[in-house]
Every structure is written in structure tokens, then in C-alpha cells.
Amino acid sequence: MSLLEVCKVSVEYKTWNSKIEALNDVSFSLSHNEILGILGESGSGKSTLALTIMKALPKNAKVRNGKIIYKDKDLLNLSESMLNSIRWKEISIVPQNSMNSLSPVHKIGDQLYDILKLHNPSIEKKEALEIIKEKLTISNLGENIVDKYPHQLSGGMRQRVLIATSLLCEPKIILADEPTTGLDVVTQYQILKELKELQDKIKFSMIIISHDISVIVNISQRVLVMYNGQVVEEGKTQSILEEPMHPYTKALFEVQLMVGRIKKEDLKIVEKQDNKIQNFENFSGCVFYFRCPFATQRCKNENPRLTKVKNEHSVACFLYG
Amino acid sequence: MTLNNTIIETLDLKKWYTISRGIIRRQKSYVKAVDGVSIRIEKGEAVSLVGESGSGKTTLGKLLLLLEEPTDGKILFEGNNIIHNNRKKEFRRKVQMIFQNPYTSFDPRLNMFENITEPLVVHNLVNSYKERFSIAINLLSKVGLNPPEVILSKYPHQLSGGQLQRASIARALSLNPELLVADEPTSMLDASLRIGVLNTLKSLQKEMKLSVLLITHDLAAASYLTSRVYVMYLGKIVECGDTQDIIDHPLHPYTIALMDAVLTTKIRNLGELKIKGELTPNYKDNVCRFSSRCPYANEKCLTQEPKLVELEKGHFVACHYPSY
């Protein structure tokens, strides 16, 4: 039984003169205690997906259709007060930009207390402090952090504070949006390791969003590859590693840098041809058509559906039937 | 090594930031961001400077361009000390920098044409608008921004991060520099764009015989682009040598940890890294700065600071117990 079910969600952003489709028929499910990785470059709609699940989209966004089922309820149809009983208590988020997500003029302890108080108005200050200290400790931070201001902490510590924040109300699902972007390699390694250990210890489901394939494969059990608002490949991490199918996934693997692999020849590029992708409005073909080396006439006219190719491994590409 | 082959060399370069405390601001302490660093870059060579955030690598990059005034030490550019030299303008033409964040390194009110060719105007190198335009077109096609005419008329906010970073390479190249300092040019970019920018740098370096200093925390990127590596920790160089040598057998425990922390597409068990905690400033004399995080630290490391010594040909390391 899956914990969270996302069915055919489409989201569009309105600008003053046009509409931009950010998500197009995205479906997936998340099981209990599973880490699902969502891989995609900037602009692929992965952050929009996280915001849709939290129902925290900006005003100019509109969910066109779809359902997000959590505990037999459709999150997209719930009232704001009902949602507030789910947000943070059931589903919480580790936002992307750790530098800007904390208030610079409040102590860490006060900021965390505010969140606890909001979701649990009857809580005593002393009890709250106990919970805050406990969450900070399991996130590998000292208890003295409660009296510090964000500017006194390093980037890695701030990211850990945000992880502790997301754990405050003991949610069932945590959405981590690029939790390590902007951190250096050593800190990135430590944060990922800690996230994985936490998940092992307290048991929650997690959706981790990143543009970095090496981050995704090292932490998640299942991977969803997104491109231009669509899921183009989905499968168990092991299966995708052994046999990436979609040309985009393959390309992402090829450009992976490795220590010690000093190649004489240049690595291949899968670069965005921004100037070509402008006329998506009347284009009905495959989303990867403009960058795909294997594109055919059929890809131009028809958009491939996500189809199962192997056991629990689906791909949206005509190369695989 | 003949002197005239070296483009830039620093001798015992220091940058100490002072912190004043107390009511009359008397008690002074220092943040020794760069503390006695000697590096050398040959003509046409690509060198990288690797270290965590906080290790002082960006400060060193800024010192090399004289964007910061050094506290002590010398910077020799083509054999001449450039600190307190009256030929700074000429020096500044020959040395250019690419900054970490492409989104904030362009003037948002100028279009790309004005942004990219402004250095030419500052240095009085163009006579006519036509000349300026043809140089701009040439630069953009060099860095792979197509079509150049369209890009030139755009404003920075209309371009993507990868395009902007290429444009900043173009701007840096507009003065035909001899040395290019690239400060984390790919850390703000997507993984798929990263390779593109690195490839551009790599081919330009070969073609134009540029000297490049790549500042990065990612040893994988360093090994892809450069032939020699300096590893920096808390203001000191802890290891340096040929990229291949360092990757095949790193000697300093810090370098080993940096390599260990690079994730690849091979799944592995995320075990303990060999180093503990995070970078904590520790500027005591006669102490190995890495000792607080080093798994092998003992008495000697706490009483005597290791010097940079040549253990193998061209491979230097500052550690009492190298090559574990």
C-alpha cells in the first residue's frame, strides 16, 4: 500500500502574456519508509512538484487537473484549515535555499518554537524546548544552537537546522528540495549520510529532489527522472543504474565527472538549446525531441507515454516500444 | 625552472583580517585567511586550487588579482612584484577573473553587448562601435553562445545560468588576458551544464595558451581540467603536485577525505568519512591546522607545525605522517 499517491497532476503558471506548463500528467506513488529520488535539471518542474504536494504554489500557478491522495483524502481539494492539520504534522519540507529560509533576526530556538507552537498550541515552553533540543541533537547539532543566530552558523549547520525543523512534528513524509546544493563536497557527503541514517532510525518516507545524479543514486531506492514537466523514466535505482533507458538519463550518466577519470577526449554535452525550445505551445511531440540524438519523425508528432518495459522500470520513449 | 616561463608566483603571501574587540577596540585577533602561501603557475598551464568552503581559496584568488591588499608577501607577475607597483592597470588587463555566481556578476541594466565589451572601453582598446561589435561577436562564438547577435541584445535576466557563465568567460577573455582565475565557475550550475562550461574552458585554455587557475571544491572537476593541483586548508597549502600523482596516491589525510567525499554514480555505502566535523579556525602557532579533524593526529601534530616538503618528485605535502 502506498502512502502518497500522485495521479496525473498538471500545473501551469500564468504570466502576463502566456501560460507555461510546469507539470504535465505527473503520476507516481510513495511507499512507507521509502526514499524516492526526483532527478531533473532546473526548469524541469521538480520544485513545482514539491510545492504542489505541500499546496504552497505561488498565486499565478494553477493546478489544472489531477489528484494527490494521502490517507484517502485528496490534498488538492482540502480546505486551508484541513491542510494546516496535515502540513508539517504529516508532510514537511526542507526548502531549497538554506541561506534564506531562516530569519536572520531570531534565535534558532525561537524560530523552531514558533513552528511547534503553531501546530500544537497547548504545548508548554519547557516541553517544546525539550523537543527542539532532541531534534537538533539527532540532526547532529549541539544543544547550544538554540541560542544562536543563523549568521553564526556555517552553511552545513544551517542545512542541519532545516532538517531538524522538518522533523519537529514527526511527519510521515519529508520533501527535501535540493538539500545539498551550494554546499561543498565534504558537507554534502555528511548531510546525505545523516539524512539516510535518520530515515533508518525514525522511519519516515522521503522525496529527495536534486539535479545531481550522483546524489540521487546514492541515497534513494527508487528514481524518477523528470524532463520539462514530465516523468520520462521511473524505476528502482539499481535497475536504472544498470540500464538507463531514456536518452536523457543516459546522457546524464555520461557527463558524470569522476575523480581519476582524466579523459583525453571531451565528454559529450547534453546542453539546452534554449532558443529552440521556445515554441512549446503548439508542439505535441516528445519533450526531449529538441535535444535527442535519436529523434525521428514520430517523436516530432507524438508524445510517448510512460510504459513499463521491465519489472518496475518504465520509460517514456519510442525506442522502447 | 627558468623564471621567464612562470606567469605568476606568490612568495609567502599572507592576508590576515583583523577582528577588534573591547570598548576601545584594542584587543586584536586575526583571521588568517591566507597564511604564507607560495604557489606558481607556468605559462599556458591549468592549475587548480582545491579546498572546502572557508579554506581561503577565494581570498587567494582575489589576492592574485589584487582585489584584496595582501598583508605580507610578494606576488611576482612575469618576474616583477606587482604589489605597490605603478603598472597596475597593465597588470589588470592581463589577469581576469570569472566569478562564482553568474547571476550577480553582470550589471542588470546593461545588455550583454555592453556588459561583455565594457572592459574594452575601460582600457581604451577600441576606437569604433563597429570594432567593438565585431569583437563581441567573435568572443561569443568562441565560448559557444549561439546565435551571438541575438544574445548580445539580451539582458542578463533573460539568459540561463549556463549561458551567463559562458558570457562571463567571454567578458574575461575580451582583454586577451594571460591568466584567468576561475572561482568555482560551475558550482551554481546544473550537473548537465557543468560539463559544457568546463569543456569551453578546457578548449580555450588549449587554443589560446591561457594560464588558468581553477578554484573549486570538487576534485573531479579539478582532475578533468587541470594538470596540477594545490590543496588548501585553513590558509595553508597542505599538498600539491601533478593531478595524476595526487589522484593515484594522495598523501595528506585531508586530500584523501576530499576525494572520498566525491559522490559518483556507483552506489556505495555512505560510511564514515575519515575526517571529523567541519572546518574550525585554529590559528595557533606550532600546531598542525588540520589536527582537530585528523584521524591520525598525535602529540607531534599538536606541538610542531608540519612544513611543505617534497616527498616525491614534484609532489609536496605538509604532514608529519603522510601516505597512510
**pLDDT tens-digit series, residues B46-98:** 999 999 888 899 999 999 999 989 999 999 998 888 888 788 888 999 999 99
pLDDT digits (tens, 9 = 90+) for B16-30: 998 887 777 777 788
Is there a domain that residue B89 lies in?
yes
Q: Which residue of B has its CA nearest to A156?
A: B278
* Residue A268: per-residue pLDDT: 52
Q: Which residue of B has its CA nearest to A157?
A: B278
A277 reaches B (C-beta below 8 A)? no
Choose from B159, B165, B190, B227 for mutation: most chain A CBs within 10 A. Answer: B190
Least confident residue range of A120-134, A264-278, B106-120: A264-278
* Residue B84: per-residue pLDDT: 82
Q: Identify the burial level of B272 via C-beta atoms within 10 angstroms of its C-beta, where 0-12 means exposed, 13-18 middle and 19 or more buried.
A: exposed
- The H-or-E segment that residue A19 falls in is strand A19-31
Domain that holds residue B78: 3-107+179-193+211-317
What does pTM read for this prediction?
0.86
Query: Cβ A258–B264 below 8 Å, yes or no?
Result: yes
At A276, the pLDDT band (50, 70, 90 cuts) reads very low
Residue B306: how many CA atoms within 13 Å on its side-chain side?
A: 26
Rounded mean pLDDT, B188-214: 86
At A31, the pLDDT band (50, 70, 90 cuts) reads very high
**What is the distance in angstroms between the Cα of A218 and the nearest Cα belonging to chain B?**
5
Please check whether residue A168 is in contact with residue A112, taking contact to mean a CB–CB distance below 8 angstroms. Answer: yes
Is there a domain that residue B160 lies in?
no
Q: Is the ipTM of this complex over 0.90?
A: no
| Nearest CB partner across the interface for A217, out of B53, B198, B267 | B267
Domain CATH for A21: 3.40.50.300
* Residue B28: per-residue pLDDT: 78
Rounded mean pLDDT, B305-322: 90
Q: Which residue of B has its CA nearest to A242?
A: B266
A273 pLDDT above the threshold of 60:
no
Q: Which residue of A has its CA nearest to B221?
A: A257
d(CA B274, CA B262): 13
Q: What does the radius of gyration of chain A's CA atoms come to, in whole angstroms? A: 21
* Residue A75: per-residue pLDDT: 92
Query: Cβ B273–A213 below 8 Å, yes or no?
Result: no
* Residue B281: per-residue pLDDT: 78
Rounded mean pLDDT, A217-221: 92
A221 reaches B (C-beta below 8 A)? no
Is there a domain that residue A46 lies in?
yes
B41 pLDDT above the threshold of 70:
yes
Is there a domain that residue A161 lies in?
no
| Nearest CB partner across the interface for B224, out of A42, A241, A257 | A257
Least confident residue range of B234-243, B280-289, B294-303: B280-289
Is there a domain that residue A166 lies in?
no
Is there a domain that residue B170 lies in?
no
Is there a domain that residue A64 lies in?
yes
* Residue A260: per-residue pLDDT: 55
At B265, the pLDDT band (50, 70, 90 cuts) reads confident
Query: Cβ A182–B191 below 8 Å, yes or no?
Result: no
At A236, the pLDDT band (50, 70, 90 cuts) reads very high
Is there a domain that residue A305 lies in?
yes
B199 pLDDT above the threshold of 90:
no
Q: Taking CB atoms and an 8 Å cutoff, what residues of chain B touch A219?
A: 270
Residue in the block written with cell 545588455: B111
Residue scoring higher pLDDT (A205 or B191): A205
Rounded mean pLDDT, A275-286: 63
**What is the distance in angstroms between the Cα of A54 and the nearest Cα belonging to chain B?**
25
* Residue A262: per-residue pLDDT: 47
**Number of domains comprising chain B:** 1
> How much of chain A exceeds pLDDT 70, in percent?
91
Alpha helical stretches, state H, B80-147: 88-94, 112-122, 129-142
Domain that holds residue A13: 2-90+171-320
A253 pLDDT above the threshold of 50:
yes
* Residue A167: per-residue pLDDT: 93
Is there a domain that residue B151 lies in?
no
pLDDT digits (tens, 9 = 90+) for A35-77: 999 998 888 888 899 999 998 898 999 999 999 999 999 999 9
> How much of chain B exceeds pLDDT 70, in percent?
98
Strands (E), chain B: 6-21, 27-37, 40-42, 46-50, 72-77, 80-81, 95-98, 179-183, 211-216, 228-233, 236-242, 309-312, 315-317
pLDDT digits (tens, 9 = 90+) for B140-170: 998 888 788 889 999 999 888 888 998 999 9
B271 pLDDT above the threshold of 90:
no
> What is the pLDDT of chain A when averaged over all its residues?
87
**Number of domains comprising chain A:** 1
* Residue A277: per-residue pLDDT: 47
Interface of A with B in 118-177 (CB under 8 A): 154-157
Cα–Cα distance list, B80 to B75, B83, B91, B180, B206 (Å): 8, 9, 10, 18, 26
Domain CATH for B24: 3.40.50.300
Rounded mean pLDDT, A215-225: 93
Is there a domain that residue B171 lies in?
no
Is there a domain that residue B173 lies in?
no
* Residue A288: per-residue pLDDT: 85
Is there a domain that residue A277 lies in?
yes
Is there a domain that residue A77 lies in?
yes
Is there a domain that residue A114 lies in?
no
At B15, the pLDDT band (50, 70, 90 cuts) reads very high
Is there a domain that residue B251 lies in?
yes
Q: Taking CB atoms and an 8 Å cutoff, what residues of chain A touch B194?
A: 255, 257
At B3, the pLDDT band (50, 70, 90 cuts) reads low
A85 reaches B (C-beta below 8 A)? no
A255 reaches B (C-beta below 8 A)? yes
pLDDT digits (tens, 9 = 90+) for A74-129: 999 999 899 988 999 999 999 876 667 889 999 999 999 999 999 989 999 999 99
Least confident residue range of A66-70, A200-204, B190-194, B285-289: B190-194
At A274, the pLDDT band (50, 70, 90 cuts) reads very low
Query: Cβ B243–A42 below 8 Å, yes or no?
Result: no
The DSSP line for A45-76 is SHHHHHHHHHT---TTEEEEEEEEEETTEEGG
